Amino acid sequence: MAERILVVDDELSMRQFLRILFSREGYVVDVAESGERALSQARQDWPDLVLTDLNMPGMSGIELLRELKGLAARDRRDVEVVVVTAYGSTESAVEAMRVGAADYITKPFNNNELLLVVRRALERHRLEVQVERLRSEVRGQYHLGGLVGSSKPMQEVYDLVRRIKDTRINCLIEGESGSGKEMVARAIHFSGARRDEPFVAVNCGAIPEALVESELFGHVKGAFTGAVRDKAGLIKAAHGGTLFLDEVVSLPLSAQVVLLRAIQERRFTPVGAVREVEVDVRIVAACNVRLEDAVADGSFREDLYYRLNVVRIVLPPLRVRSDDIADLARHFLKRFGEEYGKELVGISPPALDALRAWHFPGNVRELQNVVERAVALSQGPLLGLEDLPEKLRGGVASTVPVAEEQGFPPEGLNLDALLASQERAWLLRAIEAADGNKTNAARLLQMSFRSFRYRLAKFGLDDGGTD
C-alpha cells in the first residue's frame, strides 16, 4: 500500500509544489494549511509521515509535532515527522529533534535532498511498525500475570510457571533482591487453578522469632501469656489457595519442623492445641540467597528444603537479561506517566542506551525507581538522558546489538561505543560468574589481573579493593 504523507504549510504555492513532487513518487499526499487542520486530518486519515513547516501562524510546527507524538502514543501508532526550518535556524531544528522529529530539512532545499530525507524517515517508520508488531506478538505470548520481559531466561521462567500453575506442587523461587520473586509467586497463584482462593503472603524475616509459630499455625486461648483468644494462623487463612513464604531462609528451626509436617501430612497442631487442623495449601517459598547454602550450614532443614524445592525457579538478575531493560522501562514509563499525569511518548535513544548499559544491582526494583524519578523530572515528551541519575549517565553512548543475521544498521553505528559496551558487559559477567572474585574473573577472560583491573578502572567499575 502506498505510504501517506501529510504536508503542512501555510503557503499555498509550497503545498501545491510538494503535492506534485510527492505524488509523482507514488505517495498518497494530503495537505493542510495549518497545524490545527493537520491534526484533525491526521485523526481522520492517519499519515505515515508528516512534513511540516516550523513557522506558521497559529499552532507552530513544534506544537504540531508534540500533539502528533502524543496522539500516536495514546493510540499505539507511529508517525514520522520531518520539519522544514528556515535557513540559519539550527536551534529550532535541534529543538524539533529533541521533541521527536525524525529529521529536518533547511529551506531552500533541492528536491532530491528532500526526497531522500523523506524516504529515509519512511524506511525507519516501516521498521518501527514491524518491530512494534513483533513486540506485541511476543507480549501476548509471554505476558503472564503482568510480568514484563521476553528475554530467553524469562521465557524459561514463564514456561515453568505455566507448567505448575494449575497443580498444587510446591515451589521455590530464588533470585536477588528486586528481581521479581513476589511477582512470580503472584503470577503462579493468579494465573492458576487456585486463583479464586486466597493468596497469603508472609515475610518470614519480618516476624519476631518467638511469634513465628503462632502467626503461621495459630494458637488456642491461654497457650502463652498474651494469647487471650483462639487465633487461626496464616496457613489456615491460605486454605485452598497459596501460602507465599517470603525470605523462607529466616524461618526458625522449630517452625520448620511444624511446616514440614503440615506439608507432608496436610495437617498441623496450632500452638497449645490438642486437636489437629487439616489444611490444603500450595506453598511458594522465596529466598534471595541460595537456600541450599543454608542447608549446608545447618540453618535450614534438608528434608524441608526438598519438600519446598519440588520445582525451583531461579530468577536471573536484570544485568544478565539486559534485553528486558527496554521493555521494562517502557512499561514503567507508561505506568508512571499515567500516575503523574505526564504525556511521555517514549525514551530517547541515548537514555535507553544508558539504561541498557547499567548493571542494576537493585534489579527490576531499581529500574522502576529510576524510571519513576525520571518521569517525575522530565519535561519532555521524550524521557531524556538528563532525566537519569548521574551514575547512569557516565555509561556508554551506544549499545546497538549486532546479531549475525542482522545487516548493517541504516543509520550507521558507533563502533568504539559498541565495543566498549560489550567489553563492559563482559567484565561484569565475568565478575558475576566468578562470584565476585576478580582474580578468577580475570582468568575467565584470559587476561592478567593487572589488565583486568585497568579495564575495570576504565569503566569506573573498580572499587579499589585488590580482590
Ligand X SMILES: Nc1ncnc2c1ncn2[C@@H]1O[C@H](COP(=O)(O)OP(=O)(O)OP(=O)(O)O)[C@@H](O)[C@H]1O
Contacts to ligand X by CB under 6 A: 147-149, 175, 177-183, 288, 328, 364-365, 368
How many residues of this chain interact with Mg ion, rule: CB under 5 A?
1
Q: Return the number of the residue (93 or 286) whose C-beta is nearest ligand X.
A: 286
357 contacts: CB under 8 Å, gap ≥ 6 = 392, 395, 396, 399, 421, 424, 425
Please check whether residue 145 is in contact with residue 191, taking contact to mean a CB–CB distance below 8 angstroms.
yes
Please check whether residue 394 is in contact with residue 460, taking contact to mean a CB–CB distance below 8 angstroms.
yes
Binding mask 133-172 for Mg ion (x = CB under 5 A): ----------------------------------------
366 contacts: CB under 8 Å, gap ≥ 6 = 178, 318, 360
Q: Which residue is at the shortest CB distance from ligand X? A: 180
Please check whether residue 36 is in contact with residue 58, taking contact to mean a CB–CB distance below 8 angstroms.
yes
Q: Compute the least distance from the CB of residue 201 to Mg ion, in Å.
A: 9
178 contact, one of ligand X, Mg ion, none, CB 5-8 Å limit per kind:
ligand X
400 contact, one of ligand X, Mg ion, none, CB 5-8 Å limit per kind:
none
Q: Compute the least distance from the CB of residue 159 to Mg ion, in Å.
A: 22
Q: Compute the least distance from the CB of residue 318 to ligand X, in Å.
A: 8
34 contacts: CB under 8 Å, gap ≥ 6 = 8, 10, 56, 57, 58, 59
148 contact, one of Mg ion, ligand X, none, CB 5-8 Å limit per kind:
ligand X
Q: Return the number of the residue (182 or 386) whose C-beta is nearest Mg ion.
A: 182
Q: Compute the least distance from the CB of residue 118 to ligand X, in Å.
A: 38
Q: Return the number of the residue (181 or 189) whose C-beta is nearest ligand X.
A: 181
Q: Compute the least distance from the CB of residue 246 to Mg ion, in Å.
A: 5
Helix locations, 75-211, DSSP H: 90-99, 111-142, 152-164, 181-190
Residues pairing with 103 in the sheet: 82
Q: Return the number of the residue (66 or 356) whose C-beta is nearest ligand X.
A: 356
Residue 350 CA: distances (Å) to CA of 20, 36, 62, 231, 345: 37, 31, 21, 56, 15
175 contact, one of Mg ion, ligand X, none, CB 5-8 Å limit per kind:
ligand X
Q: How many residues belong to the chain?
A: 467
Task: Please measure the distance between the N-terminal and C-terminal CA atoms of the chain and give it in whole angstroms.
Answer: 61
242 contact, one of Mg ion, ligand X, none, CB 5-8 Å limit per kind:
none
Binding mask 167-196 for Mg ion (x = CB under 5 A): ---------------x--------------
State the amino acid at position 365 in one-letter form.
R
Q: Which residue is at the shortest CB distance from Mg ion? A: 182
Residue 74 CA: distances (Å) to CA of 110, 211, 327: 35, 50, 17
147 contact, one of Mg ion, ligand X, none, CB 5-8 Å limit per kind:
ligand X
Residue 216 CA: distances (Å) to CA of 112, 237, 253, 255, 280: 75, 9, 13, 8, 14
Q: Return the number of the residue (186 or 236) whose C-beta is nearest ligand X.
A: 186
Q: Compute the least distance from the CB of residue 304 to Mg ion, in Å.
A: 20
143 contact, one of Mg ion, ligand X, none, CB 5-8 Å limit per kind:
none
Spatial distance between the Cα atoms of 396 and 281, rounded to a whole number of angstroms: 49
State the amino acid at position 36 in one-letter form.
E
Q: Compute the least distance from the CB of residue 250 to Mg ion, in Å.
A: 12
Q: Identify the helix (H) or strand (E) that includes residue 395.
A: none
Q: Return the number of the residue (185 or 277) whose C-beta is nearest ligand X.
A: 185
**Which residue from 60, 42, 58, 55 is spatially nearest to 5, judged by alpha carbons?**
42
Q: Return the number of the residue (73 or 172) whose C-beta is nearest Mg ion.
A: 172
368 contact, one of ligand X, Mg ion, none, CB 5-8 Å limit per kind:
ligand X
365 contact, one of ligand X, Mg ion, none, CB 5-8 Å limit per kind:
ligand X
Q: Compute the least distance from the CB of residue 391 to Mg ion, in Å.
A: 24
Backbone angles phi, psi at 457, to 5 degrees: -60, -40
Residues 387-406 that bind Mg ion (CB under 5 A): none
256 contact, one of Mg ion, ligand X, none, CB 5-8 Å limit per kind:
none
Helices (H) and strands (E) in the chain, counts: 19, 16
- Apex 38 CA angle, 36 and 91, nearest 5: 80
Q: Return the number of the residue (64 or 367) whose C-beta is nearest Mg ion.
A: 367
Q: Compute the least distance from the CB of residue 194 to ligand X, in Å.
A: 19
Q: Buried b vs exposed e over 426-448: b needs ≥16 C-beta within 10 Å? A: ebbbbbeebeeebebbbeebeee
Q: Return the number of the residue (78 or 247) whose C-beta is nearest ligand X.
A: 247
E strand residue ranges, 155-234:
171-175, 199-203, 218-219, 231-232
Q: Compute the least distance from the CB of residue 363 to ligand X, in Å.
A: 7
Q: Return the number of the residue (207 or 260) whose C-beta is nearest Mg ion.
A: 207
Q: Return the number of the residue (54 or 173) whose C-beta is nearest Mg ion.
A: 173
Q: Compute the least distance from the CB of residue 184 to ligand X, in Å.
A: 7
179 contact, one of ligand X, Mg ion, none, CB 5-8 Å limit per kind:
ligand X
Express the helix, strand and coil content of the chain in percent, nearest 5 each. 50, 15, 35
Residues that bind Mg ion (CB under 5 A): 182
